[in-house]
Amino acid sequence: MNVLMTGVGGQGIILASDMLADVMMRAGFDVKKSEIHGMAQRGGSVMSHVRYAKHVASPLIPLGECDILLSFEELEAARYVQYLKKDAVVIINRYRLSPPSVISGKEPYPDVLPILREKTDRIVIVDGSRIADEMGNPKGVNIILLGKLSTYLEADEALWTLTMNDMLKEKIRAANIEGFKRGRQA
Amino acid sequence: MKKILSGNEAIARGAYEAGVAFASAYPGTPSTEVLEDIAAEYPGIHAEWTPNEKVALEVAAGASYAGARAMAVMKHVGVNVAADPLMTLPYTLIRGGLVLVSADDPELFSSQNEQDNRHYARFAKIPMLEPTTSQEAKDFMIEAISISEKFGTPVMLRTTTRISHSMGIVEMGEVKEPPRPSVERHPAEWVMLPANARVRHPVIERRMVELKEYSNTSPLNVIETGDRKLGIVSSGVAYQYAKEAFPGASFLKLGMPYPMPDRLIREFAGQVDELWVVEELDPFMEDQIKALGIDCHGKDRLPLCGELNPDIIKSTISGVAPAPFVKPPLPGRPPSMCPGCPHRSLLWALRRNKAFIAGDIGCYTLGFLPPLDAIDTCLCMGAGINHAHGMATVFGAGKEKIAAVIGDSTFYHSGITGLTNLAYNKGAALVVILDNSTTAMTGSQNHPGTGITIRGEATISLDLEKLVKALGIEWVKTVDPYDVKKTRKTIKEALAFEGPSVIISKAPCVLLKSRKVTGKPLHVDPEKCNGCKVCIGLGCPAIEFRDEKSFINSSCAGCGVCEELCARDAIGGGK
């Protein structure tokens, strides 16, 4: 299984992909994960590859092999479309963060759905950012989106709870577990 | 017990299990997390951020001379800084195991070049190990210490970004008992005068012969027999990519690519019909294999530039071009300085004063992007001051406005010698030290100016202004970059001054708790805004241009710079 997470530096993508990898290790899979830290995080485009199977060789997903794309931002869902399998599931957070050329008024924010529809019609749009705002925890959008993603994956909800208990600080744990549940229902 | 660890975390774990007592580093992507993880997880290991990589390697060597196991960690270009000690260290007697971790960055995700540091192993005549997974990153760290002690040589553990920053499952192991340090004197092996070094050189050459034998017989290098039509020699993450692309092929996997196992290579080459060498960057292994008189494919087909991936390897070796793909024309999203970053207003003011701006390595290098367009050079750590001095000297004092910008951490790394030179040789350039009280680009590491060690203990804090004066610069002023008017005025004075001048732009990084911004977003009054775009010229991600007016989004940190620049008083709030 190949899961790609995309978005913008600072959205909590790395923690989300760490958690997915941990859950799948608990589920008994071999897991590999790869992303870029450092300069890419200063508000730049971020992509994290998570792969799990009986045995995984490459930490990078080959082109056309991504089963599920989870994008934390609308535009970033379309940037890596070449990785998608035909009929892959695409989960998009309804959230737009304008890149510099849009901010400065040089070009409009693009319409990404036609680009994605060339590969798949299984496109799910989630109000992750709105739910996070409603819950008074805008930073918790990553857990809400993970909740939604989890409904497409084999691992038991109990494994997710174990991972959250293990990886999240006590102070923020309860709110995040609640966010995860809201995401599952979203 | 199993855990998911990044390659860097696995190296830290390996150091712990190997009984490493001393670890030093200067932060640099993709190597930084090794020492951060040691500091966070393994309190028994002494960890220290050093001002630069040369210091890191030398202090680790000192620990090794005392009989302790030690490591120095750095990014690929950091090894250039440490190259001076590296070249002579193998001449000297290594007591406690000594490992140099070099993290290379094919594809230049966060670097100024993509040099292949495997050449350093050959250049310095030291063995090199290269893991292909996180598990191996841990195991090979332990093996590197063991080889170092067995052969009395420093060992290079080489990773790349995709090993350091990829995660995989790692089985935890037992901790080895570390040796007890003791004072010994070995002047013939430690005092590298010509007479002694001359005697030590043949020791290295004999050692390399022994290491080649070890490489031929070590389980680090292994033949995996599969379909004999295609044989692939590979190492590092490229091995995993090749395995993904051709799972059924025969492989010679080199966990110890230097010195190369000549007999094993001949044996493998004799078993397969077509031999390929799959490696990132330079034909390091390929050239050596060809020097054995063995014909193979490699960089005649595979790219020399950038990182590999399973797709490139598959299409190149199979000769089947990948399905054509046209990238959708989407707006790019390059990294940028954060909203509220104190570098932004300083660079803006410097550009407004029409100075040529020699840059350096740090977040401020991003000031090169439009609309700021405020960095004119970036070569390596500490180069900016020297560029500015060379340039200003050619023109003569006061003829052209030449400035350099350098961050505080970079200044301690390698700016001090340049500034000393500038003062000593009667330079006239302006040097701006962007003091944001951290090493920001690599994720906020402490340094000698922050007053805090890697483990959060209080320590000395260098007084930058006093230091600069002590180096011989008389014209030194400290400014608050958020006070744009005063900053511009000070820059103007400094550029008009005919001697060397230094401005210290002092404000904490906006990602630090000590930041000097309110964190409350400002807003634009659309009635007053006439769309003049002066604020847009700051290149702040918080200021958008919508419907011919400026608009401030929720990422605004409330630094107030745009408010100060707005001639129509249209920006406010946030207090």
A53 touches chain B (CB under 8 A): no
- Output the pLDDT for position B95: 97
A35 touches chain B (CB under 8 A): yes
HEC sequence for B292-327? CCCCCECCCCCCCCCCCCHHHHHHHHHCCCCCCCCC
Which of B244, B443, B546 is closest, CB to CB, to A62?
A: B244
- Where in the sequence is the domain holding A160, given as residue range(s)? 2-185
CB pairs under 8 A between A and B: 156
Which of B133, B237, B310 is closest, CB to CB, to A62?
A: B310
Q: Which residues of B, range 158-177, sit inside 8 Å of A by Cβ? A: 161-162, 165-169
B109 touches chain A (CB under 8 A): yes
Q: Do the Cβ atoms of B168 and A44 come within 8 Å?
A: no
Q: Is the dihedral of CA B323, B329, B330, B334 positive or negative?
A: positive
On the question of pLDDT at A117 being above 90, the answer is yes
| Distance (Å) from the alpha carbon of B236 to chain A's nearest alpha carbon | 11
- Output the pLDDT for position A104: 83
Do the beta carbons of residue A12 and residue A73 sit within 8 Å?
Answer: no
Number of domains in chain A: 1
Residue A50 is part of a domain; what is its CATH number? 3.40.920.10
Q: Which residues of A, range 107-166, sit inside 8 Å of B by Cβ? A: 107, 109-110, 112, 115
On the question of pLDDT at A25 being above 60, the answer is yes
- pLDDT tens per residue, range B94-109: 999 999 999 999 999 9
Residue B526 in tokens: 């659309």
A37 touches chain B (CB under 8 A): yes
Q: Which of A30-39, B9-18, B371-380 has the lowest mean pLDDT?
A: A30-39
Task: Count CB-CB contacts under 10 A for residue B108.
Answer: 14
| Distance (Å) from the alpha carbon of A147 to chain B's nearest alpha carbon | 21
A22 touches chain B (CB under 8 A): yes
**Over chain B, what is the mean pLDDT?**
97
Contacts of A47 in chain B (CB under 8 A): none
> Class for domain B523-572, per CATH?
alpha beta
| Distance (Å) from the alpha carbon of A22 to chain B's nearest alpha carbon | 7
Q: Which long-range contacts (CB under 8 A, 24 or more apart) does B338-341 make?
A: B338/A42, B338/A43, B338/B510, B338/B511, B338/B541, B338/B557, B339/B510, B339/B540, B339/B541, B339/B542, B339/B555, B339/B556, B339/B557, B339/B559, B340/B510, B340/B515, B340/B517, B340/B542, B340/B556, B340/B557, B340/B558, B340/B559, B341/B509, B341/B510
- pLDDT tens per residue, range B438-455: 999 999 999 999 999 999
- pLDDT tens per residue, range A60-95: 999 999 999 999 999 999 999 999 999 999 999 999
Q: Return the CATH number of B221-318, one of 3.40.50.970, 3.40.50.150, 3.40.50.920, 3.40.50.880.
A: 3.40.50.920
Q: Which residues of B, range 255-294, sit inside 8 Å of A by Cβ? A: none
Which of B169, B325, B335 is closest, CB to CB, to A40?
A: B335
Among the listed residues A126, A82, A100, A83, the one whose alpha carbon sits nearest the alpha carbon of residue A44: A100
B316 touches chain A (CB under 8 A): no
Residue B272 in tokens: 């397969």
CATH node for B342-506: 3.40.50.970
Q: Do the Cβ atoms of A115 and B325 come within 8 Å?
A: no
- pLDDT tens per residue, range B145-169: 999 999 999 999 999 999 999 999 9
B243 touches chain A (CB under 8 A): yes
Please tell me whether the overall predicted TM-score, pTM, comes out greater than 0.90 for this model: yes
Which of A63, A99, A109 is closest, CB to CB, to B332?
A: A99
On the question of pLDDT at B327 being above 90, the answer is no
A38 touches chain B (CB under 8 A): yes
- Output the pLDDT for position A36: 80
Measured N-to-C along each axis, helices B342-352 and B484-496 cross at an angle, to the nearest 10 degrees, of 50
Q: What is the ipTM of this complex?
A: 0.95
Q: Do the Cβ atoms of B536 and A104 come within 8 Å?
A: yes
Q: Return the CATH number of B2-217, one of 3.30.420.40, 3.40.50.620, 3.40.50.970, 3.30.2130.10.
A: 3.40.50.970
- Segments of chain B assigned to CATH 3.40.50.970: 2-217, 342-506
A30 touches chain B (CB under 8 A): yes
- Output the pLDDT for position A10: 85
Do the beta carbons of residue A145 and residue A19 sit within 8 Å?
Answer: no
Q: Do the Cβ atoms of A62 and B309 come within 8 Å?
A: yes
Give buried/exposed letters for B152-170 (b at 16+ CB in 10 A, else e): bbbbbbbbbbbbbbbbbbb
